[in-house]
């Protein structure tokens, strides 16, 4: 049998888009013959995965996973909502979340190199799932936190929120944390507090507000005074602590926290919405029929 070198495995992977473990197995089965190995992979349906990589995957799920004091929020995308509800897809997402919790990878590229619970790497498992399920799938993003963590999953993985809280763990903190996560899911703040808003963002917003006031016919001196009032409204929209609390709009989130668990602080939060920012495919049925007729 011909020697199966790392270079041959790499070449086959680049040619087919299949995982390293699948390529090595194919080469072993085919005595090191590249062409026969590529055909073997095609027959197994694994080489199809590479062709699916260009297809838009904007559905999927946002997964929340807790293991002790470690929390993971993870978005994995597929092409259709039908596949996102598939038990095999859900099991894959669960396993990937466990890998993130255990291995603490630096980013998605690093995550793909980590060992997958059922063998091979996460990259190999992803390629296999694409081949078996028949749709393009992508591991888009994740965040890992350690400490006192609260989570909220809305609409079966459409929106997920994870929050890190500076306070001793207790039932009150857990309840408060869940309420904060629900608030974040609803109002989507960008920052925790005013001090977290970058200076250039504030300066840009002030300039826009001043221009708006002057366009309303206000003198520049008056416009500058109006900016001070309007910038407070801006902060109340983008900063979590300045927002009106979802369950009592007469108080801010900051006042809710202080009145619930004295001294507690929100250290970090992450809000993922499935498919946000991904350009979804829009099929034009009329154009498709016209194209077929041509």
Question: By C-alpha distance, which of 185, 183, 157 is closest to 271?
Answer: 185
| The pLDDT value given to residue 289 | 41
| The pLDDT value given to residue 291 | 52
Q: Is 139:61 a contact under the CB 8 Å cutoff? A: no
| The pLDDT value given to residue 56 | 67
| The pLDDT value given to residue 188 | 96
- Summarised one tens digit per residue, pLDDT across range 3-45 is 888 888 888 877 776 777 888 888 999 998 888 888 787 666 6
Q: Is 276:54 a contact under the CB 8 Å cutoff? A: no
Q: Which residue ranges of the chain lie beneath pLDDT 50?
A: 282-285, 288-289, 292-294
Both 73 and 28 in one domain: the answer is no
Both 67 and 96 in one domain: the answer is yes
Both 64 and 39 in one domain: the answer is no
Name the domain boundary from 123, 146, 169: 146
**Is 41 inside any structural domain?**
yes
Both 88 and 99 in one domain: the answer is yes
Round to whole Å and give the CA distance between 163 and 269. 4
**Is 216 inside any structural domain?**
no
| The pLDDT value given to residue 45 | 60
Which CATH number covers residue 101?
Answer: 3.30.479.20
Which CATH number covers residue 21?
Answer: 1.10.8.10
Both 114 and 136 in one domain: the answer is yes
Round to whole Å and give the CA distance between 117 and 212. 56
Q: For the chain, what is the domain count?
A: 2
| The pLDDT value given to residue 1 | 61
**Residues 6 or more apart whose Cβ sits within 8 Å of residue 18:** 12, 26, 41, 46, 47, 49, 50, 127, 131
Q: Both tokens of residue 266?
A: 């929100």
Burial of 116 (0-12, 13-18, 19+ CB in 10 A): buried
Both 65 and 12 in one domain: the answer is no
| The pLDDT value given to residue 285 | 43
Grouping H, G, I as helix, E, B as strand and the rest as coil, residue 79 is coil
Round to whole Å and give the CA distance between 212 and 3. 72
Domain extent at residue 135: 55-146
**Is 64 inside any structural domain?**
yes
């Amino acid at each position: 049998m011909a020697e199966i070198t790392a270079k041959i495995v790499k070449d086959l992977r680049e040619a087919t888009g299949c995982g390293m473990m699948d390529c090595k197995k194919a080469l072993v089965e085919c005595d090191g013959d590249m062409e026969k190995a590529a055909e073997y992979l095609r027959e197994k349906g694994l080489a199809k995965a590479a062709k699916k990589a260009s297809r838009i995957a904007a559905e999927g799920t946002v997964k929340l996973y807790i293991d002790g004091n470690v929390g993971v929020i993870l978005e994995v995308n597929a092409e259709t909502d039908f596949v996102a509800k598939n038990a095999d897809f859900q099991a894959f997402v669960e396993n990937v979340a466990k890998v993130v919790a255990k291995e603490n990878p630096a980013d998605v590229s690093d995550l793909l190199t980590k060992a997958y619970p059922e063998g091979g790497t996460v990259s190999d498992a992803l390629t296999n799932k694409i081949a078996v399920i028949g749709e393009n799938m992508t591991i888009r993003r994740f965040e890992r936190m350690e400490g006192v963590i609260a989570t909220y999953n809305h609409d079966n993985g459409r929106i997920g929120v994870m929050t890190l809280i500076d306070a001793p763990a207790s039932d009150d903190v857990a309840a408060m944390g869940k309420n904060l996560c629900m608030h974040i899911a609803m109002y989507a703040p960008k920052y925790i507090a005013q001090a977290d808003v970058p200076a250039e963002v504030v300066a840009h917003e002030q300039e826009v507000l001043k221009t708006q006031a002057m366009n309303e016919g206000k003198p520049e001196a008056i416009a500058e005074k109006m900016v001070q009032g309007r910038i407070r409204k801006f902060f109340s929209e983008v900063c979590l602590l300045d927002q009106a609390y979802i369950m009592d709009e007469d108080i801010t989130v900051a006042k809710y926290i202080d009145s619930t668990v004295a001294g507690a602080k929100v250290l970090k939060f992450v809000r993922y919405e499935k498919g946000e920012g991904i350009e979804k495919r829009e099929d034009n049925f009329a154009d498709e029929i016209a194209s077929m007729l041509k």
